[in-house]
Structure 1
């Protein structure tokens, strides 16, 4: 059994790390095989193992937390771990935003002969003209030309309002928890999860519209690839965040968390606010400017 002695917490040996490793290896190996024409069976098997591992491992942590086994040292370690995890996510998105900035500010002008690169365009891409978004190119072999850009003032604007509102509802839920108001906590979490699901549904509709009506695809040059990489990974993070908050909602309904003991809720809220901030950057630099 795990033990908490003084300021040092010693967890009991667990089989879940090796189960997770096996699941991830199976999932990635299956995906690699599928890309080379193999069956998707091992992808499914790996995904099932990972899901079972997550339920088992997180369930174990929850049961230990609710039984009072964790001390202040564990709480600090959880907070540091979540902070570093969010920092790694910030760096993840910074790489994609950096690629977008590099292309728009440097690569396209260079190809058009800007600065001391007068011969760059003639040697690498004759008759190229810098423009953003890049909708057309000379000699467009393998290039799916989009019909138009995805405008900022349709679904993206509505999704901005939805995510900003969800940030308010999760904060309202946190205030309810601090006041021991379970009704406010549960209602706020329910509204946040519902808004997150609505965001993902609207983004899925937007993707269908962009792909079928606007002919915007990953093969639509740098505009298509940066658009789908940034918005797609953000949509994945919204989905993960909504699942995290759904788990918090179910735990709140079961009576978990107190005004002084609720870091799991705080961690999910931190993640959700991070998702909100990233979307503001996406709305400005991908859709608007």
Structure 2
């Protein structure tokens, strides 16, 4: 252990992971409580949000200071890259579970209770759900949530698709710019990417408000409503986080933190952003189009 440039850097006091764990616990406990109308659910949710924001400011700042001080060597850089790869893989599996739930509901459980398929589906339909004809989208035999309209692909969903695809292009242009050592174009392309990301989130909020107020499409609208908001809502959360991360990267770029040789913080954010783009394409096809 002869120095920072040869030794594998380990922080002396890594308090931010425990702060983040506490924040996540409060966040999800509050969110679940809020959904179930439990006491203090909303307050716990926003307290968790506050703890998470505090954690991100502190942790991002610490990592930036460590990077700019020259504390990281090539081994640490490799660890960062492997960690980001495994993180994105975990996100792939996260969304795969929800896509799997949508697929199962549409292909197996829905048709089965509608009397379609073998295994006694016709008997189950005749005894328990007589008169129910399965057609997707559905809110089930109980007509849960009442009548609703299906969310179409044209309009805001299509606009948001074009916005995210364009943001992927601007993010790639930013990557080429920093690799060539062109700092100003790098910042401008980053600004374009961040702007498109936040516009996407704003338009998705508009879509949700229209769905609730004009279409009676809510999270209580049976399996269709729950899977629609589960998939698009979690994706919107990921877009929000990705845009915030890119915003932090842009602020660091303005402060001249990156060079053509050293810019993995941006690369990690770019990987995440492209992953978000790909997930949205899957959502657009299987939630809105099919």
Give the TM-score of the pair, scaled to structure 1.
0.91
Distance 1:199 1:153 in 2: 15
Alignment-derived partner of residue 198 in structure 2? 197
Q: Is the 8 A contact 1:4 1:10 kept in 2?
A: no
Q: Does 1:133 align with 2:137?
A: yes
Distance 1:32-1:73 versus aligned 2 partners, 3 A rule: same
Distance apart, 1:197 and its partner CA: 1.0
* CA deviation profile, 1:56-80 (whole Å, cap 9, x unmatched): 1221111010111100100010011
Unaligned runs of 5+ in 1: none
Alignment-derived partner of residue 16 in structure 1? 16
Q: Is the 8 A contact 2:5 2:72 kept in 1?
A: no
Q: Is the 8 A contact 1:144 1:216 kept in 2?
A: no
Pairing of 1:96-245 with structure 2 (within 5 A)? 96-116=98-118, 117-134=121-138, 137-140=140-143, 142-146=144-148, 148-245=149-246
Q: Select 1:37's aligned residue among 39, 63, 69.
A: 39
Distance 1:259 1:5 in 2: 19
Distance 2:287 2:30 in 1: 33
Distance 1:226 1:130 in 2: 17
Q: CA RMSD in A?
A: 2.0
Q: Is the 8 A contact 2:30 2:43 kept in 1?
A: yes
Unaligned runs of 5+ in 2: none
Distance 2:42 2:97 in 1: 30
Distance 1:33 1:108 in 2: 29
Distance apart, 1:240 and its partner CA: 0.5
Distance 1:161 1:93 in 2: 21
Distance 1:101-1:155 versus aligned 2 partners, 3 A rule: same
Distance apart, 1:5 and its partner CA: 6.3
* CA deviation profile, 1:147-203 (whole Å, cap 9, x unmatched): x21111211111111100000000001111011111110110000011111111111
Q: Is the 8 A contact 1:24 1:46 kept in 2?
A: yes
Distance 1:162-1:239 versus aligned 2 partners, 3 A rule: same
Distance 2:142 2:171 in 1: 50
Secondary structure of the 2:4 match is: strand
Distance 1:31-1:104 versus aligned 2 partners, 3 A rule: closer
Distance apart, 1:41 and its partner CA: 4.3
> Which deviates more, 43-52 or 196-205?
43-52
Q: Select 2:97's aligned residue among 77, 95, 110.
A: 95
